Amino acid sequence: MAELQERTFIAIKPDGVQRGIIGEIIKRFETKGFKLVGMKMLQASEDLLMQHYIDLKDRPFFPSLVNYMSSGPVVAMVWEGKGVVKTGRVMLGETNPADSKPGTIRGDFCIDVSKNIIHGSDSVDSAKTEISLWFKSEELVNYTSCAFSWLY
C-alpha cells in the first residue's frame, strides 16, 4: 500500500505561471490518475531556492537559475500515486526541451533549456527533501480519492 502513496514535488516555474499553463499541467497529472495533496503559489525567496538547488551551487549557471526562479511566482505542488516520481519525470520530458518528445510537458511547451517551465523530483529521496523544504506537514492533505478503486 505504501507504493500507492509515493509522493513527488512538482513546481511550475515562473515562465509556466506567466504563460498561463498552470491548469494544463495540473490537468495532465490529474488525467494520468495522480492525486494532488498539496499546492500553493508563492514568490520563492533566494534562500529557499539556494537550498532547493544546493546540489547545483558550483555550476556556472547557478546564479542565473536562482535569479530566474525568483523572477516571478511559482506554483509548488505535491502529487501522490504509484510510481509518481518516475512517471512524473517522464511526463515532464528532458531538462533540455530540444531533447523532449512531443506529448511531454517540455516537448509541447518549451523551446529553451533556460526557460523549461517545470521542475520535478528526480528520486523518492529527493522528493522527500524537496517536499519538506517547500511544505509544512500540515499543508499536505491525506484523503482517499473516489477514483482510487478505478485506478488500482
| pLDDT, tens only, 68-83 | 999 999 999 999 999 9
Residue 1: the pLDDT is 63
Helix intervals (H) in the chain: 14-18, 22-32, 46-52, 62-69, 84-92, 105-109, 124-134, 148-151
Residue 51: the pLDDT is 97
The CATH number that domain 2-137 falls under is 3.30.70.141
Residue 3: the pLDDT is 79
Is 13 among the annotated ligand-binding positions? yes
Is 28 among the annotated ligand-binding positions? no
| 18's grid cell | 506567466
What is the Cα–Cα distance from 79 to 88, expressed in whole angstroms?
A: 9
User: Dmax of the chain from CA atoms?
Assistant: 48
pTM equals 0.95
Helix intervals (H) in 19-123: 22-32, 46-52, 62-69, 84-92, 105-109
What is the Cα–Cα distance from 91 to 151, expressed in whole angstroms?
A: 18
Give the active site residues: 119
> What does the pLDDT average to over 98-116?
96
Q: What are the sequence ranges of the domains in the chain?
A: 2-137
Is 61 among the annotated ligand-binding positions? yes
- CA-nearest of 116, 121, 139 to 61 is 116
Chain centroid to CA 131: how far?
10
Is 116 among the annotated ligand-binding positions? yes
User: Mean pLDDT score of the chain, rounded to an integer?
Assistant: 96
Taking only the tens place, the pLDDT of each residue in 11-65 is: 999 999 999 999 999 999 999 999 999 999 999 999 999 999 999 999 999 999 9
